C-alpha cells in the first residue's frame, strides 16, 4: 500500500492534518449547482466500459468535491436479487480493492456474509486501511458486484463505518491519523482501488511475524477485542478487475479536456483491459515500466524524484517543496499559488531508465482558480508535497487516456506493471 498526500478545502481552509487520503481524493468547497459537460468523443462502448463523472459529490456530502472521479457499482447479497447501486465511488489507480460506506449499502449491508479469519471460522475478519492522513476501518464482507457489464461473484470488500465495529478501532489502526469512516470525512461513498497491485497488502501481512500486521487485518472475536492477524493472499481484498473472466490485465481511464479556468463537471470512461478489445488498444501511447509498488522516476528542475507516481485518487498535481513554486498563504496554505500560471515541464522516465519524455504541465494560482467559482474539475491546481516525490493526480488525466497494467499481467505491450499515456 502506498500513502498519499492530499489537500482538503473546507470553506477554503486547508487542513493538511485532517483531509482525505489518496483513497478518497476529495477537496471540499461550498456546494454549487453543476452544469453537465460533454463526454469524450468518440464515446467507447462495450461490456468493459463504465461512465466516470467528476462533480460535486454524493447528495449527502455537505461540501463540494474537487477533482474526484467517480463511478456507480451494483452490489448484491451473493446469489440473491437483493441489491443496491452505490454511486459516487472514487476511482483510485493507486490503491487496491472495493471499499464501500455502510451507509451507502443501506439494508443490504445487514445480509452480506461476514468473512472470517482463515483457520478460525467463527472469528470475524476486519480491516484497517491507512492513507497519508487517516484511516478507514470496517469488516470484510462478501458480495456479488457488477462493474458496467462485468460481474464478480463472492467478491471480498471492506465495509467502511459498519456500526458493529464503529467504536472498536484498535490503537494499531487509529495511530494512522484521523478516522475517515463516514461520507463527509471520506468525501465519497467508497473507493474502487484498481492500481497495479493485485492483493491489498501482498506479502506484508501474510506472515504472523510481519511487523506490518497492525496496519491491515484484525480478527475480532467480539467487537471490542480485535487482534492483528496474518492473512494469506487468497483471503485478502483484491483488485476486482483482476478477477474478471476477461479484460482483466489492466485498466484505462479516458477523460474529457477541461479549460484552464476549470469546469463545473467533467465526464469520462473507465475501460477494463489493455489490448483485449478494440476499445482499449494502446495505440500510440508510450509505455513506462513502474516498480511493483507503482513508482517511477520523474524529474523537474534537474532533480530526479524516484518516489513519483500517477494517481487518479489524488486530487491535485503535488510537487515537492524543493521546486520553489510559490505556496499559497492566507486561506489556502499548502496549495500552489504562482503569481502567474507556470509551465512545469516534468520528465517522466520508466523505472528501468527508459523511455524518458517531457510532459508539459500548467500550474495556476489556486487562490484565483478556486476563489472565483464553484467548479469541480481543474487541470492545473497544484499542491505542495512536503514528503517529496511528484504525484501526478487527477488533473493529469484530463484530456488523456491513461493506462495501468497490473503486476505480472500479460498485455500487448509485454508484462505489467506499467503505466502508459
207-251: pLDDT as tens digits: 999 999 999 999 999 888 999 999 999 999 999 999 999 999 999
**Residue 113, C-alpha cell as written in the block:** 456474509
Tens-place pLDDT, residues 307-322: 999 999 999 999 998 8
Q: Identify the band that residue 392 occupies on the pLDDT scale cut at 50, 70 and 90.
A: very high
Q: What is the pLDDT of residue 23?
A: 33
Q: What is the pLDDT of residue 289?
A: 98
* pLDDT of 27 above 70: no
Q: What is the CATH number of domain 49-243?
A: 2.40.70
Helix, strand or coil for residue 204?
Answer: helix
Q: What is the pLDDT of residue 303?
A: 94
Query: Residue 390's Cα: distance from chain center in Å?
Result: 16
Q: What is the pLDDT of residue 61?
A: 76
Whole-angstrom distance, CA of residue 282 vs CA of residue 416: 13
Q: What is the pLDDT of residue 9?
A: 36
Q: What is the pLDDT of residue 35?
A: 47
Tens-place pLDDT, residues 78-132: 999 999 999 999 999 999 999 999 999 999 999 999 999 998 889 999 999 998 7
Q: Which residues of 70-101 are buried (b: 16+ CB within 10 A; e: fewer)?
A: bbbbebbbbeeeeebebebbbbbbbbbbbbbb
Instruction: Give the angle 27-95-100 at the CA atoms, nearest 5°.
Output: 70
Q: Identify the band that residue 151 occupies on the pLDDT scale cut at 50, 70 and 90.
A: very high
The residues near 235 (Cβ < 8 Å, ≥ 6 apart) are 115, 118, 125, 156
Average pLDDT over residues 381-408: 94
Place of cell 479516458: 254
Is the Cβ–Cβ distance between 251 and 404 less than 8 Å?
yes
Q: CATH 2.40.70: which residues of the chain?
A: 49-243, 285-420
The residues near 96 (Cβ < 8 Å, ≥ 6 apart) are 1, 193, 194, 195, 197, 198, 199, 200, 237, 238, 239
Is the Cβ–Cβ distance between 55 and 31 less than 8 Å?
no
* pLDDT of 74 above 80: yes
Q: What is the pLDDT of residue 156?
A: 98
Is the Cβ–Cβ distance between 149 and 271 less than 8 Å?
no
> By C-alpha distance, which of 52, 401, 399, 421 is closest to 257?
399
Whole-angstrom distance, CA of residue 36 vs CA of residue 265: 6
Tens-place pLDDT, residues 211-222: 999 999 999 998
Domain 285-420 = CATH 1.20.58: no
Of the listed ranges 24-33, 154-163, 258-267, 339-348, the least confidently predicted one is 24-33
The residues near 379 (Cβ < 8 Å, ≥ 6 apart) are 257, 258, 260, 262, 362, 395, 396, 398, 399
Average pLDDT over residues 327-346: 91
Q: Identify the band that residue 372 occupies on the pLDDT scale cut at 50, 70 and 90.
A: low
Average pLDDT over residues 54-65: 84
Average pLDDT over residues 185-201: 96
* Average per-residue pLDDT for the chain: 89
Amino acid at each position: 500500500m502506498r500513502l498519499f498526500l492530499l489537500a482538503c478545502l473546507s470553506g477554503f481552509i486547508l487542513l493538511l492534518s485532517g483531509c482525505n487520503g489518496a483513497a478518497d481524493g476529495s477537496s471540499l468547497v461550498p456546494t454549487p449547482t453543476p452544469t453537465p459537460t460533454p463526454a469524450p468523443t468518440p464515446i467507447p462502448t462495450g461490456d468493459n466500459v463504465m461512465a466516470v463523472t467528476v462533480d460535486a459529490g454524493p447528495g449527502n456530502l455537505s461540501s463540494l468535491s474537487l477533482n474526484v472521479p467517480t463511478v456507480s457499482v451494483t452490489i448484491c447479497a451473493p446469489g440473491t436479487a437483493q441489491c443496491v447501486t452505490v454511486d459516487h465511488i472514487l476511482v483510485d489507480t493507486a490503491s487496491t480493492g472495493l471499499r464501500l460506506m455502510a451507509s451507502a449499502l443501506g439494508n443490504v449491508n445487514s445480509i452480506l456474509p461476514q468473512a472470517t479469519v482463515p483457520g478460525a471460522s467463527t472469528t470475524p475478519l476486519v480491516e484497517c486501511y491507512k492513507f497519508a492522513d487517516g484511516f478507514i476501518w470496517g469488516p470484510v464482507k462478501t458480495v456479488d458486484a457488477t462493474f458496467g457489464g462485468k460481474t464478480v461473484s463472492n467478491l471480498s470488500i471492506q465495509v467502511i463505518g459498519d456500526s458493529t465495529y464503529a467504536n472498536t478501532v484498535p490503537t494499531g489502526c487509529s495511530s494512522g491519523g484521523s478516522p475517515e469512516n463516514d461520507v463527509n470525512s471520506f468525501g465519497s461513498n467508497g473507493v474502487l482501488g484498481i492500481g497495479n497491485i493485485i492483493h491489498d497488502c501482498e506479502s506484508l501481512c501474510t506472515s504472523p511475524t510481519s511487523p506490518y500486521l497492525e496496519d491491515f487485518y484484525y480478527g475480532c472475536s467480539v467487537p471490542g477485542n480485535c487482534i492483528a492477524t496474518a492473512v494469506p493472499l487468497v483471503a485478502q481484498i483484491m483488485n476486482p478487475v483482476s478477477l474478471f473472466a476477461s479484460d482483466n490485465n489492466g485498466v484505462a481511464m479516458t477523460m474529457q479536456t477541461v479549460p484552464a479556468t476549470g469546469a463545473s463537471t467533467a465526464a469520462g470512461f473507465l475501460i477494463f483491459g489493455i489490448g483485449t478489445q478494440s476499445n482499449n488498444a494502446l495505440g500510440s501511447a508510450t509505455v513506462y515500466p513502474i516498480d511493483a509498488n507503482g513508482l517511477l522516476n520523474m524529474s523537474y528542475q534537474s532533480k530526479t524524484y524516484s518516489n513519483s507516481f500517477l494517481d487518479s485518487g489524488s486530487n491535485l498535481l503535488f510537487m515537492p517543496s524543493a521546486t520553489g513554486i510559490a505556496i499559497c498563504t492566507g486561506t489556502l496554505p499548502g496549495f500552489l499559488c504562482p503569481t502567474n500560471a507556470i509551465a512545469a515541464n516534468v520528465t517522466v522516465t520508466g523505472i528501468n531508465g527508459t523511455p524518458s519524455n517531457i510532459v508539459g504541465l500548467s500550474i495556476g494560482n489556486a487562490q484565483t482558480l478556486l476563489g472565483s467559482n464553484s467548479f469541480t474539475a481543474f487541470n492545473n491546481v497544484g499542491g505542495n508535497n512536503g514528503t517529496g516525490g511528484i504525484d501526478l493526480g487527477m488533473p493529469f488525466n484530463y484530456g488523456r487516456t491513461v493506462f495501468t497494467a497490473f503486476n505480472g499481467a500479460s498485455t500487448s505491450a509485454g508484462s505489467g506493471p506499467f503505466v502508459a499515456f
